[in-house]
Amino acid sequence: MIQISALPAFTDNYIWLLQDHRTQRCAVVDPGDAAPVQAWLAAHPGWVLSDILITHHHHDHVGGVEQLKNATDAKVYGPASETIPARDVALKDNDRISVLGWDFEVYAVPGHTLGHIAFYHHGLLFCGDTLFAAGCGRLFEGTPEQMHTSLSRLASLPEDTLVYCTHEYTLSNLKFAIAVEPGNPDTAARLEKVTAQRAAGIMTLPSTLALEKLTNPFLRVDETSVKEKVDERSGTQNRGPSAVFAALRAWKDKF
């Protein structure tokens, strides 16, 4: 069995660590800082870092790659259309890779960045900064249409899929979600639970796609309650789901 755990980095990043206890090989996803990974390896003698998975080029996701590569000779996987330090394998949409004996499908999910990718193994999704718990990434490079398409693609995966995003943004995202849907009982219940978790210093990830579909406004742009609230705020009729998404993202940027 492969165990997945989080190595906290910076103020709110998580570096996901995948551990294969049969072989004592491990992999990390988006190591923006080498230090937490090296500290874990130092505390677990005999373990070898064999693979590094990268979702996109932002420094808080790639900053530790070269140092880890030089220290361990791990194989680095990353998006083909972005500049990824020490990348060995350039990945495009619908590629498949094998890491620690698990097959992963690669999905192009542009929006946050143009070349952003996600890694999917049945039941698990490593989605970087595309889909967050109760939110989504800012549009630094892509269009609202691209991000809406990317999120819709991820939302079509099985509902029991565990969502491993890379930031502890859940509480602030839920405060926005409740502003969008004040009458949503699932969002209210999740906000109460997450507020308690964060007060106790407990991480709120992974999420599930089922929970995201109930409480994440960016996956709920087809819901009448979301559309009406967005229309009310903007004073316009946002006709299609992408337009609702665009208005919602613009609102969140200033929230």
Q: Which of 58, 116, 121, 148 is catalytic?
A: 58
Name the active-site residue from 60, 116, 121, 148.
60
**Does residue 96 come out as left (phi exceeding 0), alpha (psi in the -120 to 50 range) or beta?**
beta
Please give the structure tokens belonging to residue 52: 């590094």
Q: Is 56 a known active-site residue?
A: yes
Q: How many CB atoms lie within 10 A of CB 163?
A: 23
**Whether 122 is catalytic:** no
- The active-site residue, picked from 20, 30, 51, 129, is 129
206 upstream amide cis, omega within 30 of 0? yes
DSSP string, 114-169: TT-EEEEETTEEEEETTEETTEE---SSS-HHHHHHHHHHHHTS-TT-EEEESB--
Tokens for 30? 């988006």
Say which of 61, 116, 121, 148 is annotated catalytic. Answer: 61
* Known catalytic membership, residue 121: no
List the catalytic residue out of 30, 33, 51, 112.
Answer: 112
From the candidates 20, 56, 121, 148, which is the catalytic residue? 56
Q: Is residue 160 flagged as an active site residue? A: no
Structure tokens at 70: 């030089």
CB neighbours of residue 56 within 10 Å: 27
Catalytic residues: 56, 58, 60-61, 112, 129, 167
